[in-house]
Structure 1
Amino acid sequence: MSVLIAIPARYASTRYPGKPLVSLTGASGTEMTLIERSWRAAMAVSGADRVVVATDDDRIRAVAEGFGAEVVMTSSDCVNGTERCAEAHAVLGGGFDIVVNLQGDAPLTPHWFVEDLIAGLRAAPEADIATPVLRCDGMALNGFLNDRKHGRVGGTTAVFAADRSALYFSKEVIPFTSQIYADDAPTPVFHHVGVYAYRPGALADYPTWPMGPLETLEGLEQLRFMENGRKVLCVEVEARGRQFWELNNPEDVARIEEMMAAMGLD
């Protein structure tokens, strides 16, 4: 099954304008833009047939082409990454069996997260979309709770059924637990990793659906699939000692740089 990885990137982010071009410093002091680090993460994925950056901004295009990425220009009317991936797939003429959305704000995404995701969707013909979830340890959960306490949008959490079909995604910390966990203890909370693998039919349908109330309230694009009765498969992935975080706010730059330093990633 042929696989396209599309990296949606827009300059006019509401929470963090210009985010794709923000510089992140690695463990040995190497500076690299967020979009280049995300592209390098995509290029490390085994089994991908093509990797493109999908954007509507000439500044991002120039930077991406400068470090060797293939760029697909998309409309500024795309309201989220899924719509941008749908347009990019169409611009390329379609034909891929799986389209992966590796969001341009997740430079710490390990290649095995995406490889496990692709394998999970291949093994679940009843699913229209698959997305990874990572069980939080106490340290990660406390970080989520601290962000919410201070009014910051941190990571997204997910709850799912016994068959791993998603029940809900939220920027709040769900499910509720009153228990206190040690930093290295497993918790019942799962961090949703912002990567998606779509079957092309469901991806093509997505932009034709109106934005529903849950997507509007949460600002989470995957809820549109669920609001339209499409099955979203949650694929549990293993951290293997790697820390993971997405760049959602300016404050996250220092957090991600600290993680890269701790893991020796340049």
Structure 2
Amino acid sequence: MSVIIVIPARYASTRYPGKPLVTLTGASGEAKSLIRRSWDAACGVAGVDKVVVATDDARISEACEAFGADVVMTSTECQNGTERCAETLVNLGENYDIVVNLQGDAPLTPAWFIEDLVQGLRDNPSADVATPVLRTEGRALNGLLQDRREGRVGGTTAVFGADNNALYFSKEVIPFTGKTYGDADETPVFHHVGVYAYRPDALKSYPQWPAGPLEQLEGLEQLRFLERGVPMLCVEVAAKGRQFWELNNPEDVPRIEDMLKEMGHD
């Protein structure tokens, strides 16, 4: 089955304007832009036929072309990354069996997260959309809770049923647990990894639906599928000792740089 990874990137983020071009310094002391690190992560995934950056901004396009990325220009009317992926597929005029949306704010996404996600969709022919979830250890959960206490929008959490189909996603920490966890303790909270795999028909349908109230309240694009009754398969992935965090706020830059250095990433 043919696979394309699309990295949607926009400059005009309301919470963090210019985020794709923010630089992150790794273990070697070299500073690379967020979009460059996301591109490098995508290129390290096995079994992928094509990787493209999808943007509506010339500054991002020029930066990407400078390090050799393929770029597809999309409309400024796209409301989120899923809509941008759908438009990219139309603009390319190429057929793929699976389209992966690797959002450009998750440079710490390991290759196996995406490989396991694609395999999960392959293994479930009735599923049209899938996304990875990562069981948190205490260190990550405590970071999520600290963000909420300090009024920051941190990572997204997911809850799902016995069939592994998503029940809900939230920027609040769900499910509630009143326990205290040590850094290495396993917890019942799953961190939603901001990656999606779609079959083309489901992706092309998405922009035709108006955003529902839950999507608008949470600011989470995947809720449009749930509000339309489209199941979303949650594929549990393993950390394997790696840390994972998205760049959502300026305060996340030093946190991610520390993780890059701790894991030895240039």
TM-score, structure 1 as length reference: 0.99
Q: Report the counterpart of residue 183 of structure 1 in structure 2.
A: 183
Query: Which amino acid in 2 is paired with 1:188?
Result: P
1:18 aligns with 2:18: yes
Q: Matches of 1:170 and 1:98 in 2, distance apart?
A: 25
SS at structure 1 position matched to 2:183: coil
Q: Report the counterpart of residue 6 of structure 2 in structure 1.
A: 6
Aligned residues: 266
Q: Report the counterpart of residue 70 of structure 1 in structure 2.
A: 70
Worse-superposed segment, 178-187 or 165-174: 178-187
Residue 127 of structure 1 and its aligned partner are, at CA, apart by 1.1
Q: Report the counterpart of residue 36 of structure 1 in structure 2.
A: 36
Q: Report the counterpart of residue 236 of structure 1 in structure 2.
A: 236
Q: Report the counterpart of residue 109 of structure 1 in structure 2.
A: 109
Residue pair 1:26, 1:261 contacting (<8 A) in 2 also: yes
Alignment map for 1:110-149 (pairs within 5 Å): 110-149=110-149
Q: Matches of 1:5 and 1:157 in 2, distance apart?
A: 23
Q: Matches of 2:181 and 2:33 in 1, distance apart?
A: 35
Q: Matches of 2:139 and 2:24 in 1, distance apart?
A: 23
What residue ranges of structure 2 are gaps of 5+ in the alignment? none
Residue 182 of structure 1 and its aligned partner are, at CA, apart by 1.3
Q: Matches of 2:172 and 2:200 in 1, distance apart?
A: 30
Q: Matches of 2:125 and 2:15 in 1, distance apart?
A: 36
Q: Matches of 2:110 and 2:180 in 1, distance apart?
A: 29
Residue 97 of structure 1 and its aligned partner are, at CA, apart by 0.5
Q: Matches of 2:95 and 2:152 in 1, distance apart?
A: 40
Query: Which amino acid in 2 is paired with 1:121?
Result: L
Query: Which amino acid in 2 is paired with 1:126?
Result: S
Residue pair 1:126, 1:231 contacting (<8 A) in 2 also: no
Q: Matches of 2:137 and 2:244 in 1, distance apart?
A: 12
Moved over 4 A (4+): none
Q: Matches of 1:179 and 1:105 in 2, distance apart?
A: 30
What residue ranges of structure 1 are gaps of 5+ in the alignment? none
Q: Matches of 2:95 and 2:186 in 1, distance apart?
A: 41
Q: Matches of 1:248 and 1:11 in 2, distance apart?
A: 13
Q: Matches of 1:39 and 1:262 in 2, distance apart?
A: 21
- Per-residue CA deviation, residues 138-166 of structure 1 (Å, 9 max, x unaligned), is 11111111100000011000000011000
Residue 94 of structure 1 and its aligned partner are, at CA, apart by 3.6
Identical aligned pairs, as a percentage? 72
Q: Matches of 2:189 and 2:203 in 1, distance apart?
A: 28
SS at structure 2 position matched to 1:234: strand
Residue 71 of structure 1 and its aligned partner are, at CA, apart by 0.2
Q: Matches of 2:177 and 2:60 in 1, distance apart?
A: 41
- Per-residue CA deviation, residues 91-122 of structure 1 (Å, 9 max, x unaligned), is 11141100000000000000000000000001
SS at structure 2 position matched to 1:261: helix
- Per-residue CA deviation, residues 148-198 of structure 1 (Å, 9 max, x unaligned), is 000001100000001100000000000000111111010000000000000
SS at structure 1 position matched to 2:75: coil
Q: Matches of 1:126 and 1:178 in 2, distance apart?
A: 37
Q: Report the counterpart of residue 166 of structure 1 in structure 2.
A: 166
Q: Matches of 1:181 and 1:249 in 2, distance apart?
A: 25
SS at structure 2 position matched to 1:133: strand
Alignment map for 1:41-52 (pairs within 5 Å): 41-52=41-52
Q: Report the counterpart of residue 211 of structure 2 in structure 1.
A: 211
Q: Report the counterpart of residue 260 of structure 1 in structure 2.
A: 260
SS at structure 1 position matched to 2:151: coil
Q: Matches of 1:258 and 1:250 in 2, distance apart?
A: 14
Residue 128 of structure 1 and its aligned partner are, at CA, apart by 1.3
SS at structure 2 position matched to 1:196: strand
Residue 28 of structure 1 and its aligned partner are, at CA, apart by 1.3
Q: Matches of 1:215 and 1:126 in 2, distance apart?
A: 24
Query: Which amino acid in 1 is paired with 2:185?
Result: A
Q: Matches of 1:7 and 1:88 in 2, distance apart?
A: 10
Q: Matches of 1:245 and 1:181 in 2, distance apart?
A: 19
Residue 85 of structure 1 and its aligned partner are, at CA, apart by 0.3
Residue pair 1:100, 1:198 contacting (<8 A) in 2 also: yes
